Amino acid sequence: MSYEHIQVELKDGLGTITLNRPPVNILNIAMMEEINSTLKEWQGMKDLKVVLFRARGKCFSAGVDVGEHMGGLAPKMIETFHNIFRYMDKLGIPTAASVYGSCLGGGCELAIFCDVVIASESAKLGQPEIQVGVFPPIAAQVMPRIIGRKAASDLVLSGRIIGAEEALQMGLVNRVVKEEDLEKETREFLRPYLKLSAEVLRLTKKAITVGLMDDLEPSLQAIEDIYLKELMETHDAHEGLNAFLEKRKPTWKNE
């Protein structure tokens, strides 16, 4: 199937989704729906071993479309965005991200949700949502599980952006490579996975998840309720989002 905002390839057990919405791959609802359509189509494919997210353009992704974060669109945006992770979770196979340049907000959430991340030296990762009056639900769910509560709290509560080397030290990424070698190093990193049994990969990933006793749905549902029913009812959430769109500093009322 041909899409407007992504490119899709399925070959030799590797399913590749390439973000292709130049210049900085802002994730809007239409793009998310294309990703969901692909992940939904891939459900139950017995010979699919790995799903890889990569990108074209200036960077991996600068995040979710702020304009679709507001008002009546917020519930649809959250549902559509979070369905990406639900479909990834249901696939039950290893997922990977190959990132470079800005990997921020929803783009960072997409990357770090993956089981493995290969980053170029230019990669900048972060969850700056709090600086515009909201928080990143997926990062709130998965980041403490990846790098621990204290490191995750630092990143999510401050909104600071870190470089690839710091992300590597924290455990947010698996490998940092030279910019010009990213595509080649990603292929090399994933090559061992593609030599294995798809079914054994599924069961092994299932065992890792069970070992963590980490069921995505209950915690994600609780986080969504906080986001939509509490956060989006505050003055400051709307002020922060509007300030971002209007390119001004927000005036917080702490309410």
The stretch 141-161 carries a mean pLDDT of 97
Parent domain of 59: 1-181+197-255
Does residue 189 lie in a domain region?
Answer: no
Tell me whether residue 91 is in a domain.
Answer: yes
Number of folded domains that form the chain: 1
What is the reported pLDDT for 209? 85
pLDDT over threshold 90, residue 1: no
- Is the pLDDT assigned to residue 105 strictly greater than 90? yes
Q: What is the CATH number of the domain that holds 25?
A: 3.90.226.10
Asked if the model's pLDDT at residue 215 lies above 90, the reply is no
Any domain includes 190: no
Q: Is the pTM of this model over 0.85?
A: yes
> What's the mean per-residue pLDDT of the chain?
95
Question: Which residues, 6+ apart, have CB-to-CB distance to 3 below 8 Å?
Answer: 34, 37, 38
For residues 54 and 103, give the distance between their C-alpha atoms in angstroms, rounded to a whole number. 11
Whether 124 is in a domain gets the answer yes
In the set 34, 68, 129, 185, the catalytic residue is: 129
More confident of the two residues 78 and 212: 78
Please tell me the distance from the alpha carbon of residue 126 to that of residue 50, in angstroms, as a whole number.
25
Question: 74-91 and 216-225 are packed helices; what angle lies between their axes, rounded to 10 degrees?
Answer: 170
Give Cα 158 distance to the centre of its chain: 19
Average pLDDT over every residue of 93-107: 98
85 pLDDT band, cuts 50/70/90, is very high
- Kindly tell me if the per-residue pLDDT of 216 is higher than 90: no
pLDDT confidence of residue 210: 81
Q: Is 217 among the catalytic positions?
A: no
In a domain, 192, yes or no: no
Is 186 within the bounds of a domain?
A: no
CA distances from 98 to 92, 146, 204 (A): 19, 18, 22
User: Active site residue: 33, 109, 165, 188, which one?
Assistant: 109
Asked if 109 is an active-site residue, the reply is yes
Position 43 in a domain: yes
Domain-embedded: residue 55: yes
- The per-residue pLDDT for range 226-235, each reduced to its tens digit, is 999 999 999 9
pLDDT value at position 47?
Answer: 95
Tokens 């917020």 belong to residue? 74
Task: Tell me what pLDDT residue 124 has.
Answer: 98
238 against 153, higher pLDDT: 153
Main-chain dihedrals φ then ψ at residue 225, nearest 5 degrees: -65, -40
